[in-house]
Amino acid sequence: MGIVLGALVRSATIVADYESDDSIRYGACELAWPMKGVGARAHAEREIRTALAGPVAEQIYRGESEIRIQRESSVDWIYASTYAETFLANKSKRTEFLFSVAEEIRDLFHKDEVWAAVASTADELLAHDELDGETLSESVQFWLRRLN
């Protein structure tokens, strides 16, 4: 998702990381965002979409049609919620917004070329545990070029 939204991906991993608050991150992606001309809300929305892309992809892969917050992706949802809080103080509206974004991501991932890029990324990560940004970008761009 970061690549789709214009980020430079430095690395991605599926190596479990045990956080200091006893939560477990099952994957991580280090991104560098271009900030010129990007307002605070636009940047927050990029972070939100990137954070929710993994959980949405997992649910699609498992054949789940309803977007839900699950234990293994709770860290991603909390991260997204923290960014959403910067422009949506009302918790109910924030939750509604996050689910709306997750549904938009699901719709994007249902495009064959986009899902192929997601699947290719997953395959590469399963084979190597970690990827550098160049390898990841090449893999994703191969499929995304076919969108047009």
pLDDT level of residue 38 (50, 70, 90 thresholds) = very high
Q: What is the pLDDT of residues 66-84, one digit of tens each?
A: 999 988 889 899 999 999 9
Rounded to an integer, what distance in angstroms lies between the CA atom of residue 28 and that of residue 39?
24
Over residues 91-95, mean pLDDT? 97
pLDDT bucket at 26, cuts 50 / 70 / 90: low
- The confidence score (pLDDT) of residue 59 equals 95
pTM as predicted: 0.88
Q: Are 2 and 45 in contact (CB under 8 A)?
A: no
| 20 or 120, higher pLDDT | 120
pLDDT score of 41 more than 70? yes
The answer to whether 85 and 94 are in contact (CB under 8 A) is yes
Q: What's the mean per-residue pLDDT of the chain?
A: 91
Q: Is the dihedral of CA 107, 111, 114, 118 positive or negative?
A: positive
Higher pLDDT, 25 or 39: 39
Name the residue with tokens 């160049």.
134
Sequence-separated contacts (24+) of 14-22 with Cβ below 8 Å: 14/125, 14/126, 14/129, 14/130, 15/129, 15/130, 19/75
